[in-house]
Chain A
Amino acid sequence: MKSQSSSQFISKAFLYMILVIATLLSIFPFYWMFVMATNTNEVINRIPPAILPGKELVANFTKVLNTIDFFGAIWNTFIVASITTIGVLILSSLAGFAFAKLNFRGKNALFVMILVTMVIPPQLGLIPQYIIISKLNWLSDFKAIIVPGLIDAFGIFWMRQYISSNVPDELIEAAKIDGCSIFRVYWNITVPIIIPAFATLAIIKFMYVWNDFLWPLVVLRDEESQTIQVALRGLIDNYVRDNGMILSGTFWATVPLVIIFLLFNRLFISSLTEGAVK
């Protein structure tokens, strides 16, 4: 009996040790980023380096504002991510509703086709995509991000799964018999039930667009249209490397998403896991 409980204590201590180390390693770069963002370059380049926050929070951020159009880039990213997200929510929920609740020929084959598009590497069409965007005269135009961003196979998959398991068929049948048009069945009956699915998809899509780098780098060619990720790169291109300033920029660009994540982490994590287990 005694050896049982002491071995349990050891395994418990071991598991806690693993989790505490993992937590510290996961959080440390955020803390370090903050410490560096508040210190001067001399303090950063000292041995041993600073481990506590300094007093240069405002000074470093002022330097960021003098180097890149930080707030302009944040605003651009916010606008692009919001419009793309709203568009994806509308299109994915309509398509998901059709796949889950409407009958039409070729439905299953079309759905499988959508799933297949998920495994194609995005770089395969990168150059022709760039050419199309430039022929449309959309270079440095938000449309270059928003319109292709509306293609979202995962969104349709996610909405279809949610609608099939949460919107009862009887409810839809009854509404149809009462003379509801199909759009009204979607709008008045389905939409109110699937609000949680909207919330989850919105967070995933918003974060994805906010963090995207390669495509904005290719199509947003002038400085006024840059998203924050492309603008951040402008910080390290300076020939005078000021790490306090650079990390101040990355720190403030990271804060909004971390806040969104901490507010909605339950939704975010549960949706990811549901997608994986099914």
Chain B
Amino acid sequence: MPDVNSEKAPLNKKPFSTKRSFSEKKKEALAGYLYISPFFILFAIFGLFPILFSFYLGFHRWNGFGEMEYVGFKNFSLILSDPLFWKSLSNTIIMWILGTLPQLLIGIILAYALNATIIKFKSIFRVSVFMPYVTSTVAVAIVFGIMFNDQPFGLFNIIIGWFGVDPINWSTSDWGLKIAISTMVFWRWVGYNTIIYLAGLQAIPGELYEAATIDGATTRQKIQYITIPMLKPIIILTVFTSTIGALQLFTEPLIMVGRTYREEGLTVVLYLYREAFNNMAFGTASATAIILFLIIIVLSSINVFIANRIGK
């Protein structure tokens, strides 16, 4: 960086720092607050206030137009006694496991392969594996929705036909729909996680491996004692983000089950959306949002706890 002023700086520093410094400092602080204020103002209006208001709404009955009526915990007990809510919760958790676990495992394997020194054409592999992430969720859901066509000519039905399996009604069967949605999630996110893991692998200093080689460590030992422990923070990060993402599953099931809201494909956010914008029950919808928030906190904590034990 060519810098003509840097020589002047230490020379000029003294004479100015006594008298002008106070007002200069004040000006600087004022500018600082001014520059960061848009975030806080916008967040207060469109972020914080809505969140607090959600907590308030969760204890009221309201259809968006008339008077709000305080109902205490009634919304929560309504939801918790609704079999459809439990169905949506169990759907969400099953799809979280089906979509997330394979995604992270395969992401680590792909990152390991991409990081191997003997591999050429790395950038081509990297770009193509990452490409699904660039596509919109809506497009992915539409494309996979058609691939998982219930008819015998649906692509996945043809593929399982090669193995002698009868066509499956993907869009109406309980497991069919979950597998279809999890496949969409897997396809879109596996490359993203691969790239994150790859960055983690590249940040591990090569000297560690060299030292281990000199000490006679096997490849397995290197993976177990260097790669996995060093990658642990990244693994925690991806487990964390993909859990939050999976619990917010919405677009894929909405496209798959359409406006029918079939219970086989209902997720918690879809349940919330239906309560709010189909049934105009803003109170129960807000209560659902609060329950979802609590579930996310609990599951993320469990996740971090388990991830912390990996490689110990």
Which residues of A come within 8 Å of B, CB atoms? 8, 11-12, 15-16, 18-19, 22-23, 25-27, 29-30, 32-33, 36, 44-49, 91, 94-95, 97-99, 102-105, 107, 110, 114, 117, 119-132, 147-148, 150-153, 156, 168, 170-171, 173-178, 182-183, 186, 193, 207, 210-211, 213-214, 218, 229, 232-233, 235-237, 243, 246-247, 250, 253-254, 257-258, 261-262, 265, 269, 272-274, 276-277
Asked if residues B54 and A128 are in contact (CB atoms below 8 Å), the reply is yes
Asked if residues B289 and A232 are in contact (CB atoms below 8 Å), the reply is no
Given known contacts A103-B32, A213-B137, A173 and B13 CB-to-CB distance under 8 angstroms: yes
How far is it, in angstroms, between the C-alpha of A246 and the C-alpha of B244 when the chains are bound? 30
Closest to A177 in B: B12
Residues from chain B with Cβ under 8 Å of A174 in the complex? 3, 5-6, 8-9, 12
Closest to A36 in B: B146
Closest to B126 in A: A269
Q: Which of the residues B200, B258, B282 comes within 8 Å of A236, measured between beta carbons?
A: B258
Residues from chain B with Cβ under 8 Å of A247 in the complex? 142-143, 146
Residues from chain B with Cβ under 8 Å of A16 in the complex? 119
Closest to B196 in A: A276
Given known contacts A27-B131, A214-B251, A151 and B139 CB-to-CB distance under 8 angstroms: no
Which residues of B come within 8 Å of A, CB atoms? 1, 3, 5-6, 8-9, 12-13, 16, 24-25, 27-29, 31-33, 35-36, 38-40, 42-43, 45-47, 49-51, 53-54, 57, 64, 106, 109-110, 113-114, 116, 118-119, 124-132, 134-140, 142-147, 149, 151-153, 155, 158, 187, 190-192, 195-196, 198-200, 202-203, 234, 237, 244, 247-248, 250-251, 255, 258-259, 269, 272-273, 276-277, 282, 285-286, 289-290, 292-293, 296
Asked if residues A276 and B51 are in contact (CB atoms below 8 Å), the reply is no
Residues from chain A with Cβ under 8 Å of B153 in the complex? 44-47, 49
Given known contacts A171-B5, A247-B143, A257 and B136 CB-to-CB distance under 8 angstroms: yes
Asked if residues A125 and B36 are in contact (CB atoms below 8 Å), the reply is no
Asked if residues B29 and A277 are in contact (CB atoms below 8 Å), the reply is no
How far is it, in angstroms, between the C-alpha of A233 and the C-alpha of B136 when the chains are bound? 12
How far is it, in angstroms, between the C-alpha of A166 and the C-alpha of B14 when the chains are bound? 26
Asked if residues B6 and A171 are in contact (CB atoms below 8 Å), the reply is yes
Given known contacts A95-B36, A128-B57, A171-B5, A27 and B128 CB-to-CB distance under 8 angstroms: yes
Given known contacts A128-B53, A132-B50, A213-B251, A48 and B31 CB-to-CB distance under 8 angstroms: no
How far is it, in angstroms, between the C-alpha of A232 and the C-alpha of B298 when the chains are bound? 35
Residues from chain A with Cβ under 8 Å of B147 in the complex? 29, 32
Asked if residues B54 and A147 are in contact (CB atoms below 8 Å), the reply is no
How far is it, in angstroms, between the C-alpha of A97 and the C-alpha of B128 when the chains are bound? 35
Residues from chain B with Cβ under 8 Å of A23 in the complex? 124-125, 128-129
Given contacts A91-B38, A125-B50, 17 further A-B contacts (CB under 8 A): A15-B116, A26-B132, A97-B35, A104-B33, A117-B47, A121-B247, A121-B293, A125-B51, A127-B276, A127-B282, A127-B289, A128-B50, A128-B286, A174-B5, A233-B138, A254-B139, A273-B198
Residues from chain A with Cβ under 8 Å of B43 in the complex? 117, 151
Given known contacts A129-B46, A269-B195, A272-B196, A124 and B51 CB-to-CB distance under 8 angstroms: yes
Closest to B283 in A: A127
Asked if residues B110 and A18 are in contact (CB atoms below 8 Å), the reply is yes
Most chain A CB within 10 A, of B118, B144, B237, B258, is at B118
How far is it, in angstroms, between the C-alpha of A273 and the C-alpha of B237 when the chains are bound? 12
Asked if residues A95 and B39 are in contact (CB atoms below 8 Å), the reply is yes
Asked if residues B125 and A22 are in contact (CB atoms below 8 Å), the reply is yes
How far is it, in angstroms, between the C-alpha of A47 and the C-alpha of B251 when the chains are bound? 30
Asked if residues B187 and A125 are in contact (CB atoms below 8 Å), the reply is no
How far is it, in angstroms, between the C-alpha of A49 and the C-alpha of B16 when the chains are bound? 79
Asked if residues A257 and B135 are in contact (CB atoms below 8 Å), the reply is yes
Q: Which of the residues B8, B9, B54, B138 comes within 8 Å of A125, measured between beta carbons?
A: B54
**What's the nearest-Cβ distance from chain B to residue A101, in Å?**
9
**What's the nearest-Cβ distance from chain A to residue B75, in Å?**
12
Residues from chain B with Cβ under 8 Å of A126 in the complex? 50, 54, 272, 276, 289
How far is it, in angstroms, between the C-alpha of A37 and the C-alpha of B250 when the chains are bound? 26
Given known contacts A15-B118, A47-B152, A123-B272, A99 and B36 CB-to-CB distance under 8 angstroms: yes
Asked if residues B118 and A127 are in contact (CB atoms below 8 Å), the reply is no
Q: Which of the residues B3, B134, B203 comes within 8 Å of A261, measured between beta carbons?
A: B134
Asked if residues B134 and A258 are in contact (CB atoms below 8 Å), the reply is yes
**What's the nearest-Cβ distance from chain B to residue A60, in Å?**
13
How far is it, in angstroms, between the C-alpha of A27 and the C-alpha of B191 when the chains are bound? 11
Residues from chain B with Cβ under 8 Å of A156 in the complex? 36, 39
Given known contacts A26-B132, A276-B237, A123 and B195 CB-to-CB distance under 8 angstroms: no
Residues from chain B with Cβ under 8 Å of A273 in the complex? 195-196, 198-199, 202
**What's the nearest-Cβ distance from chain B to residue A11, in Å?**
8
How far is it, in angstroms, between the C-alpha of A99 and the C-alpha of B137 when the chains are bound? 34
Asked if residues A276 and B136 are in contact (CB atoms below 8 Å), the reply is no
